[in-house]
Chain A
Amino acid sequence: MAVDYATLKKGGWMRQKQKNKFALRVHVIGGTLTAEQLIGIQKVADKYGHGYVHLTARQSLEIPWMDAKDIENIKKDLAEYGVTPSVCGPRVRTTTACQGSATCPSACIDTQDLAKKIDKRYFARELPGKFKFGVTGCQNNCLKTEENDIGIKGAERVEWIPDKCIACGVCVKACRENAIELKDGKISIDMDKCSYCGRCAKACPVDAYEEHPGYIMSWGGLFGNHIHRGNNIVPFFEGEDTLFKLCDATVDFFDKNAQPGDRLQFAIDRYGQDKFDDMIKKIYDENVYKEDK
């Protein structure tokens, strides 16, 4: 029986150099697997494979040495533990994410929740080329968002609350941009210098900053044969609706304008970076609440 490699690849079965052997890539969202899922993976690796797994560069997990004849049984065994195959090839891939605000003291956003939403909305969507989303909780950038076709970085706008402030000066030193000044018991923030990292608010001993979480996005990252750092086309913004409008428009753009095997940046280059930037800026302008200055 002939093996249909394209279909298998769509289902996360990566052909090995050994005939009829595959590494099965499992569906992971934001780098999180339950202990239950790990039991299922362990059983399959022992029963059908060589008793080991490989962690991929983008937070997925592959079980090598799966035999073509066992594919249906493997899928069934894994399903009992809530494990499903991932995808490879020209479609939306694994969404990567750090642990985010659920556990990390630095994070500005709930990256795990956002990764699940992105996965639900786009995962495995057929496109002319591969398409990667990466989400990181803050500007420490543990998840290296600029490597992804769309990178999403948690950030926050802060508002000083004078009544709570004890004028201790901790935030002045916590700020890496020297944007904060404490004078006569009053805090002033130079918004031209502010990077929206939120370190002032996180360091404040009396929570005298109101935190308004949001995002800093990047477009067109690549880290394979070609290397390109994702561009920040628009500044920080708040609102998940706007975030998804920007993501939708980008994925649709890629679907319409990319050639087979393209990555987002190649499609942008052919279309014109300025024209692409204008499209993104227009959506940003239409949706982002502009604070009165």
Chain B
Amino acid sequence: MAEVSDIKVDETVDITDVVCPVTFVKTKVALEELDDGQILSVHMNDGEPVQNVPRSVKEEGHQILKLIDNEDGTYDLIVKKVGD
């Protein structure tokens, strides 16, 4: 089981200021900036973003390591970039 404390986050992106579909677009752009194997933390709101963004990230072929509940109505999705 992956522990959050083991994970070194390389980059963060905040998508709490945008709505679907820009939430995923912003995430996708942030992932494109990274190298294969680097870790991105995506800061998102509860509700629609947290219901859909993780799945879209999975469908793009990246590896989700953890979803952290910040218990303030936001979540951090920890994603490892998987290159083409």
Find out whether the CB atom of B67 lies under 8 angstroms from the CB atom of A168. yes
Smallest Cβ-Cβ distance to B64: which chain A residue:
A205
**Cβ–Cβ < 8 Å partners of B1 in chain A:** 166-167, 185
When chains A and B are docked, how far (Å) is the Cα of A168 from the Cα of B67? 5
Chain A residues 229 to 244 lying within 8 A of chain B, measured CB to CB, are none
Binds A, one of B15-23, B33-41, B49-57: B49-57
**Cβ–Cβ < 8 Å partners of A71 in chain B:** none
Binds B, one of A10-18, A44-52, A170-178, A188-196: A170-178
Is A203 an interface residue when CB atoms closer than 8 A count as contact? Answer: yes
Find out whether the CB atom of A205 lies under 8 angstroms from the CB atom of B58. yes
**Cβ–Cβ < 8 Å partners of A43 in chain B:** none
When chains A and B are docked, how far (Å) is the Cα of A173 from the Cα of B44? 12
**Cβ–Cβ < 8 Å partners of A166 in chain B:** 1-2, 65-66
**Cβ–Cβ < 8 Å partners of B64 in chain A:** 168, 170, 205-206
When chains A and B are docked, how far (Å) is the Cα of A169 from the Cα of B64? 10
Find out whether the CB atom of A174 lies under 8 angstroms from the CB atom of B65. no
> From DSSP, what is the main secondary structure of chain A's interface residues?
loop
User: Measured between C-beta atoms, what is the minimum distance from A184 to chain B in Å?
Assistant: 11
> From DSSP, what is the main secondary structure of chain B's interface residues?
mixed
Find out whether the CB atom of A176 lies under 8 angstroms from the CB atom of B69. no
Find out whether the CB atom of B65 lies under 8 angstroms from the CB atom of A202. no
**Cβ–Cβ < 8 Å partners of B63 in chain A:** 205
User: Measured between C-beta atoms, what is the minimum distance from B65 to chain A in Å?
Assistant: 7
Which of these, A105, A167, A185, A203, contacts B54 with CB under 8 Å?
A203
**Cβ–Cβ < 8 Å partners of A205 in chain B:** 54, 57-58, 63-65
When chains A and B are docked, how far (Å) is the Cα of A36 from the Cα of B77? 46
When chains A and B are docked, how far (Å) is the Cα of A290 from the Cα of B28? 43
User: Measured between C-beta atoms, what is the minimum distance from B73 to chain A in Å?
Assistant: 12
Provide the B43-84 mask, 1 if CB < 8 A to any CB of A, else 0. 000100011101101110001111101000001010000000
Smallest Cβ-Cβ distance to A169: which chain B residue:
B67
Closest 10 CB pairs of A and B: A205-B64, A203-B55, A170-B54, A169-B67, A173-B50, A168-B67, A168-B66, A205-B58, A170-B67, A166-B2
Taking A166-B66, A173-B75 as known contacts, 18 extra A-B pairs with beta carbons closer than 8 A to each other, sorted by chain A number, are A166-B65, A167-B1, A168-B2, A168-B65, A168-B67, A169-B66, A170-B55, A170-B67, A170-B77, A173-B54, A173-B67, A174-B51, A174-B52, A174-B54, A202-B55, A204-B58, A205-B58, A205-B64
